[in-house]
Structure 1
């Protein structure tokens, strides 16, 4: 695409591909948000005792289906969308986005809703002063992930936002560094190799830490900062960055034909089955390395979606209007669903006992989805308008709902 002055025009920040395949990725956002709600309701109805965890449903298939932990999907997809412009700058030498523009867009996208949700929930749970001010300060500054006691306070799922913010800071440093590192290489393949190698190193670091922490230092799994901090969870962002590099490297010519598409769909089904198997309670390496393995499998699934031609059942499901609608409000749903679940439980609106899981899930969704839609139109959409006003180019659709957990 060429601008009027002859230079190559920028794609919108976070545009998934030259073909603009947006709806399928927004469908993934809907899948991730709904799966997160299911997972947290599942956790709420799981009891723990000397014999271990007792899930609300004993059926193995149900356990695999309902206990998906999809935070890695959020991280992979977010990193993929946001790294694309940097990958194009490094591999194809396209103009990059200034760091201040990137950070402003991310701040407008993330902060208004996040700070509103934190302040509302914290105030409701701390009616008397002074309250737990340290908890509030840590959540407002995205540092709760380093506090083993308060990491899941206020809004439990918000720990992932700490990593998102840290990733944004890392990306505005690593993206230009990658472009600089690729400048000496005339061959495009060499530039791709440099970027891919950097992503592989970023993935390997947290995996190595998990091995050292568990097998070498014997760090208990309840040491939350050890296993939830950036040093332990950045592998998912690295997988998304690698996916962006692969997408840019392949380009439109990487679209798969009919036979290759069939193989890719088979790989996608295999990835889903592997994720279901991993989601069950396992001991040993499958438990220690669950999140790196899940990140790789989500990466395979997204890659096949991007590269396979449209028309298959999977694409139609992802493009379903109801699912993309959930994807549109997924950030609000992600932040509000847990406080809503806790409030409903305190009000006696959720049935008790393990058998209450199914009805409780329906009740939580029935309240959380309308609340998320209201939150989107009241907070997220006006913030997106502010970002549009600041953008100097009004000829492109600046608001693209990038995946943000």
Structure 2
């Protein structure tokens, strides 16, 4: 199969990074805790779920393509090397900058920073380092990276990719989406909140992307016939409107408190399930985009924004802390707009410098397996090829892609 690109996913990755930055500014200013937009600002951590769905789709898809008789699945060691090359350089620079520039809370020492640098901080109940609290999601995604080769081979083993085999695996992946809500309800019922950061609580978000990958390859190869999903793919505006309505529902107490207080088991279940459906609705129109969708989300601006989105995710809390110090603002004092715009502009600048001066050169030097593109989601200047297809089901297949390491 020839290469196929997914340009619209770049714009969604940029949207996810913007959502994460916005919710953190909202919490730091206090506007996510009280005020007319508190519910919405507090739920913009939905960006994490969007990242996870995109990663599940792009990383699992090469295994599905291999199952359908194409090249061998990715070798585990090159796959892990490429993941490390993508996420570790910016992570380590972020940890160093946080240690040097952000005030340290009580109980934070060099061991704390070492845990963040090795993505093991979520397994120890200790104070979080300033400027690095968002890295819990990167640690969770790192756990998914390690699990995926074994999970993927388990799912593609034992039988040929017949229509029935594909449907059985779609059922299994659908069942995975219920693991997260059940896990989150259970850990809140038993009083173990740190376990809410672990992979089982979020595996359903990755499973949504994996299910999309399996469905898309099976549908494009003729293993699956047309279904309601075909119709949904043609009405992206409606699907995104559904996502917006569900987000507004999530921005009520039904999904738990707006602050960091522990929700009830029922609220934790509802929030995780709502995030699963919202992220699915956001991402689905982008995996088989209309020409208009691909042009808007996957044009040059969207492509560049997607490239630097990981850096925005990594550096924005450090930038936010420096902006607060510059203006003399304390936490929860308001001033959302005064914090948001400088944080966004400076974070974009720092992220662009990081990507073009460090991250991309390191990937180019380090990756010997050239089937993996150096860009975060395997896109290059031919990304608009998807948009030129009049029939999404006859668009050529994709080569192994390489999504961002955002969590």
Q: Does 1:105 align with 2:82?
A: yes
1:391 pairs, out of 361, 369, 374, with 369
1:205/1:235 contact within 8 Å kept: yes
Runs (5+) with no aligned partner, structure 2: 257-263, 378-402
Deviation at residue 175 of structure 1 after TM alignment: 1.5
Q: Deviations over 1:269-311 (max 9, x none)?
A: 1122212321344346455431332122211321123234222
Q: Deviations over 1:331-378 (max 9, x none)?
A: 111010001111221232659875511121112112211111111122
Separation of aligned partners in 2, 1:234 and 1:37: 23
Q: Does 1:206 align with 2:180?
A: yes
Deviation at residue 121 of structure 1 after TM alignment: 1.6
Q: Secondary structure at the match of 1:21?
A: coil
Who is 1:167 aligned against? 144
Worse-superposed segment, 357-366 or 131-140: 131-140
Worse-superposed segment, 89-98 or 327-336: 89-98
1:163/1:230 contact within 8 Å kept: yes
Who is 1:141 aligned against? 118
Separation of aligned partners in 2, 1:126 and 1:141: 21
Separation of aligned partners in 2, 1:85 and 1:240: 13
Worse-superposed segment, 87-96 or 358-367: 87-96
Residues 81 and 72 from structure 1, CA distance in 2 versus in 1: closer, same or farther, beyond 3 angstroms?
A: same
TM-score normalised per structure 1: 0.80
Q: Secondary structure at the match of 2:274?
A: helix
Q: Deviations over 1:108-160 (max 9, x none)?
A: 11111111211232244589xx9712202211221101123234555111111
Q: Secondary structure at the match of 2:291?
A: coil
Residues 260 and 299 from structure 1, CA distance in 2 versus in 1: closer, same or farther, beyond 3 angstroms?
A: closer
Who is 1:310 aligned against? 291
1:226 pairs, out of 195, 198, 219, with 195
Residues 104 and 37 from structure 1, CA distance in 2 versus in 1: closer, same or farther, beyond 3 angstroms?
A: same
Deviation at residue 42 of structure 1 after TM alignment: 0.2
Q: CA RMSD in A?
A: 3.1
Residues 37 and 344 from structure 1, CA distance in 2 versus in 1: closer, same or farther, beyond 3 angstroms?
A: same
Equivalent runs, 1:345-356 vs 2, <5 Å: 345-348=324-327, 355-356=334-335
Equivalent runs, 1:47-126 vs 2, <5 Å: 54-55=33-34, 58-60=35-37, 63-64=39-40, 67-69=43-45, 70-92=47-69, 94-125=71-102
Q: Does 1:246 align with 2:223?
A: no
Residues 165 and 198 from structure 1, CA distance in 2 versus in 1: closer, same or farther, beyond 3 angstroms?
A: same
Runs (5+) with no aligned partner, structure 1: 3-10, 12-17, 48-52
Who is 1:267 aligned against? 239
Q: Secondary structure at the match of 1:149?
A: coil
Residues 249 and 158 from structure 1, CA distance in 2 versus in 1: closer, same or farther, beyond 3 angstroms?
A: same
Worse-superposed segment, 165-174 or 282-291: 282-291
Separation of aligned partners in 1, 2:243 and 2:22: 20
Q: Secondary structure at the match of 1:329?
A: helix
Who is 1:35 aligned against? 19
Residues 288 and 25 from structure 1, CA distance in 2 versus in 1: closer, same or farther, beyond 3 angstroms?
A: same
Residues 96 and 359 from structure 1, CA distance in 2 versus in 1: closer, same or farther, beyond 3 angstroms?
A: same
Deviation at residue 379 of structure 1 after TM alignment: 1.6
Worse-superposed segment, 66-75 or 109-118: 66-75
Rg (Cα) greater in structure? 1
Deviation at residue 67 of structure 1 after TM alignment: 4.2
2:344 pairs, out of 340, 343, 365, with 365
Worse-superposed segment, 190-199 or 249-258: 249-258
Residues 120 and 306 from structure 1, CA distance in 2 versus in 1: closer, same or farther, beyond 3 angstroms?
A: same
Deviation at residue 239 of structure 1 after TM alignment: 1.7
Separation of aligned partners in 2, 1:260 and 1:122: 47
Separation of aligned partners in 2, 1:273 and 1:65: 15
Separation of aligned partners in 1, 2:62 and 2:275: 25
1:108/1:387 contact within 8 Å kept: yes
TM-score normalised per structure 2: 0.80
